[in-house]
């Protein structure tokens, strides 16, 4: 959750360089980007689509529980009214001829009455009027009935629009008109009452009511629609799985190719680096760049690449989707997000600090463990167990203290984020619930009418939102540590290389091994001059012994002869050819080397002996082993020449390893030898074998021997006496004794043979 906190010194530079390498595969990168967009799109549109299905269910529930019963009542009432009207009309229609006839009779009577003289006329008139009055009323009633019919027709027309209208707006408008048309004081009863209630309802509800009115029988859930949505969702999520899967696989490919390339580049780079580089730092340091750092990049980059884009897109995408669902809720969510980020920003660095402290203290504790276990016999011998345990307890307590604090702060981070998210959830549910009411006002704007589906979608987005938020915090750490690792690798890749070999160079066809050293000046560090004006001449087949105490710099001679290091000035010639103008490989081909450090690689014994010669035959290998007196012991091994040499050579003694390196040098058959005599690390008998094998090897070859044995030194044609890194004397044994210098002192104080122990 919280990284180690190491940072790259040049973050941007490293990032740019890494991107540059990656950008060579820009087509893959583009495809990855497209797939990421597609996957994110599928993923975040899910809730939005699900919303529709849930809304449909909600609609059904509202229809079932609210609108349909209501609509049924309204429909019944309207039907009743229609029936009543029709019955009245029928009645009226039936009564009409009689009425008309009666009217006609009365009108005829009126005409007769009009001709009657007064006072008879008045009396008749009164009689007629009395007869006429009920008929007139009946006539007016008929007119009223006709008006009611017009009204009813209008209502039916509107109702028809409500039920069968083409557009929702049309239906809603019709419903509103219908509701408005019903006067509250009307005798319409329930319908009028409900009409009064419906007046203020929002469009969505009006539409549902309109739909409910159109229903012939009780409402059914629209499973066709929901089914379509569900099917769509399945396709969408399948799309997500496919896009995301492909994107991830391609990311694996591209990052692993990068890792492969970096490993190869580092390995090749190491080949071009001068020995100075390797001597200047421990193998562990170099190895950790090649393995640990690149492995770190391998796992981190995978996560960074597959998640960074996804989480950013998700983050932005979800916010956008939230706004499309409900802008106000989205706005509220956006206020809480920074709150979570703020809390993270407060806690994370503290946790990181404690982690750093814990790491440092744990390092110290582990150092103590290593030191004490490594010196266990000393601790026992000096009765230091208790002191050591007490010291350990002290450090251990300190580690405990920062360990639990680090762990605790890191563990607080999660609940805090969750708390923020839950807080958001609560707000959304509560406010959402308020907003689902038909009308709710916010700053004077009606924000009501939120559907349950929308609320569901919103909650789903909130839950989705956690992922990118956590990922982004994590990725920031991953990027940091990846860049730090990448930077270390790049620094290695930028190390200064050996000067390239000349294109055209002399090759000595069959070298004899006459080595001449003229006016050599050399030092590892310009501040510490080492070799000054070294001159030496040796004829083919002669032996040069290099003697001196440990640390006297005997390997310097090897470094210069083999051109592991370049001289400052002066020349080394073999058979008269300056080795510095030759190709390094050609120079080294002339030298056979057997060092104390018996390096063998993890392969079979056969492969190791054949190391010196590309196309060695079986016969040659066996002959070389035989000459090096190694054949016998090899054959006693269970797998003979096919014995696998294990790392750290658990299965061979150091003497046996030495014999193998001699066999290897035999096969290489170089005219000049560099030998490092065995010291006490080998048992007496094997030592004698090695000595004999070396003598065989030296036969007929010019040899430089780092000598420990008196006999070797005495037999040498020339002795180079070294001390403190410098050649202090040279000459043969007698000459040097006569000179009575360092050699004489060394020799007289009984030259002994175990400096290298």
Site for another protein in 130-159 (CB under 8 A): none
Give residues 606-665 in contact with another protein (rule: CB under 8 A). 611-612, 647, 664
- State in angstroms the smallest separation of the CB of 391 from another protein: 10
Q: Does position 441 bind another protein by CB under 8 A?
A: no
Cα–Cα distances (Å) from 7 to 11, 19, 403, 524, in that order, read 8, 18, 22, 33
Among 296, 321, 403, 698, interactor with another protein by CB under 8 A: 403
Residue window 490-529: x/- pattern of binding to another protein, with contact defined by CB under 8 A: ----------------------------------------
Binding window for another protein (CB under 8 A); candidates: 219-227, 314-322, 537-545, 693-701? 219-227
Q: Does position 676 bind another protein by CB under 8 A?
A: no
604, 645 Cβ separation under 8 angstroms: yes
Please state, in angstroms and rounded to a whole number, the distance separating the CA atoms of residues 561 and 572.
Answer: 7
Q: Does position 58 bind another protein by CB under 8 A?
A: yes
Please state, in angstroms and rounded to a whole number, the distance separating the CA atoms of residues 302 and 232.
Answer: 31
Q: Does position 200 bind another protein by CB under 8 A?
A: yes
Q: Does position 296 bind another protein by CB under 8 A?
A: no
Q: Does position 114 bind another protein by CB under 8 A?
A: no
Q: 308 by DSSP, 3-state: which?
A: helix
- State in angstroms the smallest separation of the CB of 237 from another protein: 4
Among 172, 659, 682, 705, interactor with another protein by CB under 8 A: 682
Q: Does position 683 bind another protein by CB under 8 A?
A: yes
Please state, in angstroms and rounded to a whole number, the distance separating the CA atoms of residues 146 and 499.
Answer: 115
- State in angstroms the smallest separation of the CB of 487 from another protein: 20
Which residues have a Cβ under 8 Å from the Cβ of 647 and sit 6 or more positions away? 602
Give residues 306-345 in contact with another protein (rule: CB under 8 A). 306
Q: Tokens standing for 330?
A: 């989205």
- State in angstroms the smallest separation of the CB of 16 from another protein: 24
Binding window for another protein (CB under 8 A); candidates: 105-113, 116-124, 574-582, 708-716? 708-716
Among 16, 83, 104, 376, interactor with another protein by CB under 8 A: 376
- The residue (of 152 and 258) whose beta carbon lies closer to another protein is 258
Please state, in angstroms and rounded to a whole number, the distance separating the CA atoms of residues 699 and 29.
Answer: 63
Q: Does position 185 bind another protein by CB under 8 A?
A: no
Task: Classify residue 465 by burial, with Cβ atoms within 10 Å: 0-12, 13-18, 19+.
Answer: buried
Nearest to 516 by CA among 555, 561, 472: 561
Among 35, 355, 425, 461, interactor with another protein by CB under 8 A: 425
- The residue (of 562 and 706) whose beta carbon lies closer to another protein is 562
- The residue (of 164 and 646) whose beta carbon lies closer to another protein is 646
Q: Does position 180 bind another protein by CB under 8 A?
A: no
Give me the residue label for tokens 């028809």. 160
Rg, Å, the chain Cα set: 51
Give residues 68-87 in contact with another protein (rule: CB under 8 A). 69-70
Q: Does position 127 bind another protein by CB under 8 A?
A: no
- State in angstroms the smallest separation of the CB of 149 from another protein: 30
Residue 208 phi, psi dihedral angles, 5° rounding: -60, -40
Please state, in angstroms and rounded to a whole number, the distance separating the CA atoms of residues 121 and 109.
Answer: 11
Nearest to 494 by CA among 288, 284, 278, 273: 273
- State in angstroms the smallest separation of the CB of 21 from another protein: 15
Give residues 541-560 in contact with another protein (rule: CB under 8 A). 549-551, 558
- State in angstroms the smallest separation of the CB of 271 from another protein: 5
Binding window for another protein (CB under 8 A); candidates: 20-28, 163-171, 227-235, 528-536? 227-235
574, 590 Cβ separation under 8 angstroms: yes
Among 595, 637, 649, 744, interactor with another protein by CB under 8 A: 595
Q: Does position 259 bind another protein by CB under 8 A?
A: yes
Give residues 721-750 in contact with another protein (rule: CB under 8 A). 746-747, 749-750
Among 415, 496, 640, 700, interactor with another protein by CB under 8 A: 415
Please state, in angstroms and rounded to a whole number, the distance separating the CA atoms of residues 594 and 558.
Answer: 11
Using omega within 30 degrees of 0 as the cis cutoff, is the peptide bond preceding 119 cis?
yes
677, 658 Cβ separation under 8 angstroms: no
Among 115, 377, 510, 636, interactor with another protein by CB under 8 A: 377
Q: Does position 382 bind another protein by CB under 8 A?
A: yes
Question: Count residues contacting another protein (CB under 8 A)?
Answer: 164
Q: Does position 186 bind another protein by CB under 8 A?
A: no
Q: If you count them, how many residues does the chain have?
A: 757
Q: Does position 367 bind another protein by CB under 8 A?
A: yes
714, 733 Cβ separation under 8 angstroms: yes
Q: Quick one: DSSP state of residue 581?
A: G
Cα–Cα distances (Å) from 28 to 246, 264, 591, in that order, read 11, 21, 49
Binding window for another protein (CB under 8 A); candidates: 97-105, 131-139, 695-703, 707-715? 707-715
Provide the phi-psi class of 2: left if phi over 0, else alpha when psi is between -120 and 50, else beta: beta
3-state SS string for 620-675? HHHHHHHHCCCHHHHHHCCCHHHCECCHHHCCCCHHHHHHHHHHHHHHHCCCEEEE
H-only helix segments in 494-518: none
Among 459, 536, 581, 739, interactor with another protein by CB under 8 A: 459
- The residue (of 400 and 442) whose beta carbon lies closer to another protein is 400
Binding window for another protein (CB under 8 A); candidates: 6-14, 17-25, 234-242, 530-538? 234-242
């Amino acid at each position: 959750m919280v990284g180690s906190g190491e940072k790259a010194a040049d973050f941007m530079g490293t990032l740019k360089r890494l991107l540059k390498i990656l950008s060579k595969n820009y087509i893959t990168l583009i495809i990855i980007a497209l797939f990421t967009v597609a996957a994110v799109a599928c993923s975040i549109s899910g809730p939005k689509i699900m919303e529709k299905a849930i809304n449909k269910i909600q609609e059904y529930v509202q229809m079932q529980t609210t609108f349909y019963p209501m609509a049924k009542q309204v429909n019944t009432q309207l039907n009743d009214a229609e029936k009543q009207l029709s019955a009245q009309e029928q009645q009226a229609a039936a009564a009409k001829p009689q009425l008309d006839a009666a009217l006609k009779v009365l009108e005829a009577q009126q005409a007769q009455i009009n001709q009657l003289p007064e006072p008879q006329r008045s009396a008749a008139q009164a009689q007629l009027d009395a007869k006429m009055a009920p008929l007139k009323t009946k006539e007016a009633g008929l007119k009223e009935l006709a008006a009611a019919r017009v009204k009813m027709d209008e209502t039916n027309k509107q109702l028809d629009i409500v039920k069968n209208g083409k557009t929702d707006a049309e239906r809603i408008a019709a419903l509103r008109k219908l509701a408005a048309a019903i006067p509250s004081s009307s005798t319409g009863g329930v319908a009028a009452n409900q009409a009064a209630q419906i007046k203020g309802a929002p469009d969505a509800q009006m539409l549902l009511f309109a739909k409910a009115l159109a229903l012939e029988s009780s409402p059914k859930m629209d499973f066709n629609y929901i089914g379509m949505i569900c099917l769509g969702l399945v396709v969408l999520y399948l799309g997500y799985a496919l896009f995301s899967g492909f994107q991830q696989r391609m990311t694996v490919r591209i990052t692993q190719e990068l890792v492969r390339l970096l490993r190869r580049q580092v390995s090749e780079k190491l080949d071009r680096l001068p020995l100075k580089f390797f001597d200047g730092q421990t193998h562990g340091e170099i190895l950790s760049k090649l393995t640990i750092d690149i492995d770190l990049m391998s796992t981190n980059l995978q996560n960074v690449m597959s998640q960074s884009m996804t989480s950013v897109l998700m983050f932005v995408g979800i916010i956008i989707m939230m706004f499309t669902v409900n802008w106000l809720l989205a706005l509220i969510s956006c206020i809480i997000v920074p709150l979570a980020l703020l809390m993270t920003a407060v806690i994370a660095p503290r946790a990181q600090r404690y982690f750093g402290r814990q790491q440092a203290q744990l390092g110290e504790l582990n150092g103590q463990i290593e030191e004490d276990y490594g010196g266990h016999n000393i601790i026992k011998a000096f009765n230091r167990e208790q002191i050591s345990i007490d010291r350990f307890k002290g450090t251990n307590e300190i580690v405990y203290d920062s360990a639990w604090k680090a762990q605790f702060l890191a563990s607080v981070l999660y609940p805090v984020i969750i708390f923020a998210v839950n807080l958001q959830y609560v707000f959304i549910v509560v406010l959402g619930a308020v907003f689902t009411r038909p009308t709710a006002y916010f700053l004077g704007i009606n924000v009501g009418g939120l559907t349950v589906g929308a609320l569901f979608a919103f909650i789903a987005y909130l839950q989705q939102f956690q992922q990118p938020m956590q990922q982004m915090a994590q990725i920031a750490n991953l990027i940091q540590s990846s860049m730090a690792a990448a930077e270390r690798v790049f620094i290695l890749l930028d190390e200064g290389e050996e000067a390239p070999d000349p294109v055209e160079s002399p090759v000595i066809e069959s070298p004899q091994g006459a080595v001449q050293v003229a006016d050599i000046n050399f030092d590892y560090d310009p501040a510490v001059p080492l070799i000054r004006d070294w001159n030496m001449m040796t004829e083919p087949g002669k032996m040069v012994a290099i003697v001196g105490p440990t640390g006297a710099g005997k390997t310097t001679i090897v470094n210069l002869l083999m051109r592991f290091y370049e001289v400052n000035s002066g020349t080394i010639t073999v058979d008269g050819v300056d080795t510095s103008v030759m190709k390094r490989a050609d120079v080294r081909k002339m030298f056979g080397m057997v060092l104390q450090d018996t390096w063998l690689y993890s392969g079979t014994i056969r492969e190791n002996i054949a190391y010196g010669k590309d196309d060695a035959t079986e016969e040659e290998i066996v002959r070389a082993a035989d000459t090096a007196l190694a054949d016998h012991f090899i054959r006693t091994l269970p797998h003979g020449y096919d014995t696998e040499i294990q790392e750290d050579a658990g299965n061979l003694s150091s003497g046996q390893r030495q014999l193998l390196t001699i066999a290897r040098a035999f096969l290489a058959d170089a005219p000049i030898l560099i030998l490092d005599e065995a010291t006490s690390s080998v048992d007496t008998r094997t030592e004698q074998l090695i000595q004999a094998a070396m003598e065989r090897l030296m036969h007929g070859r010019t040899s430089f021997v780092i000598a420990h044995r008196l006999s070797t030194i005495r037999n040498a044609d020339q002795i180079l006496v070294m001390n403190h890194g410098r050649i202090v004397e040279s000459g043969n044994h007698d000459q040097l004794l006569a000179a009575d210098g360092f050699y004489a002192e060394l020799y007289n104080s009984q030259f002994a043979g175990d400096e290298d122990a």
